[in-house]
Structure 1
């Protein structure tokens, strides 16, 4: 593992729209760094004991977003962690402030065009519930500037596989010497 400097992050947070690869890239990146991987959506499901869709259906988005903010705050307390946010986390001001104000945290925007992201979502076989196309387009237009605003690093992923994305990210962060 490389020697740390004051500018070396102790946590890397991945943000982007659904289909950006936050969980897949995050898991591989954490493995390459020898760090812990935290998927905020998974943390919420584990704590609530119920799927996210059910949280939304029973309690609404407001309750889910409060749970999400709590999970993000907890994850940001970790050192040597790669954290994957849910696609809508950036919509909440408290979440953006947590990301901006937590020292030695680098937020990375995994960026691709909406048609690429939607194709990736359709290719997933887990049966993940996704919004309809019109809702996805509206959310994408609203969130894209927020992803750009909160992220210090942007990685274009449309023409890269997961390994290429992880390598590009490590290089951009100056961590390319990590095995």
Structure 2
């Protein structure tokens, strides 16, 4: 099976919530790219944006993706590549080098959601979301705008799973199922 399940998608689609559950169910390690970026920078993402701008954040994000996708550890059980679930930030696939690196090591599962569901989740959250405050627009309008900007990037994923109407446990089921189908296609010869 493919050694890495990569979760990506727009903010508030459930990547950070479902990632640890999926990893636990598979018996794999969970890694969050944003956590790696925060550790490298020594400050929260909102502070990186405020102090250094988006370009610096994206550079740190590229470095984190490069580090995670060049991992040469081996699985102690099957001796294949080290299996893990990697959760990425919402804009990671916009960068072509990130997309290529992630596709090389695993199956990219893009979590989606209806804009109004995402806007409601974001408004309930205490997390600071620097990209949403740009332009001073209402949350729903900014969500739709960003989703449109990133649509082509998200289309690069191997599979999409809509999280709008799912509990986190149902989402985990769907992610694992979609991953299994796409991972099998990558390793089976064409019929």
| TM-score bin (small chain) | 0.7 to 0.9
SS at match of 2:180: coil
**Cα distance per residue 1:43-91 (max 9 Å; x no partner):** 1111111111111111111111111001011122342110111011112
TM-score, normalised with respect to structure 2 = 0.79
Shift of 1:169: 1.9
Write the distance in 2 (CA, Å) between the matches of 1:56 and 1:123.
22
Alpha-carbon contact 1:12-1:106 (below 8 Å) kept: yes
1:99 corresponds in structure 2 to: 102
1:111 corresponds in structure 2 to: 112
Write the distance in 2 (CA, Å) between the matches of 1:174 and 1:54.
37
1:86 corresponds in structure 2 to: 89
2:39 corresponds in structure 1 to: 46
Larger radius of gyration: 2
Mark the runs of 5 or more structure 1 residues left unpaired by the alignment: 1-7
Shift of 1:40: 0.6
Of residues 5, 8, 19, the one that matches 1:15 is 8
Write the distance in 1 (CA, Å) between the matches of 2:158 and 2:42.
33
Q: Which structure's residues are more often helix, by fraction?
A: 2
Alpha-carbon contact 2:5-2:179 (below 8 Å) kept: no
Mark the runs of 5 or more structure 2 residues left unpaired by the alignment: 72-81, 134-138, 182-191
1:42-81 map, 5 Å: 42-78=35-71, 79-81=82-84
Write the distance in 1 (CA, Å) between the matches of 2:29 and 2:6.
12
SS at match of 1:95: helix
Alpha-carbon contact 1:11-1:76 (below 8 Å) kept: no
1:138 corresponds in structure 2 to: 145
1:169 corresponds in structure 2 to: 175
SS at match of 2:89: coil
SS at match of 1:174: helix
Would you say 1:120 and 2:117 are equivalent positions? no
Aligned Cα RMSD in Å? 1.6
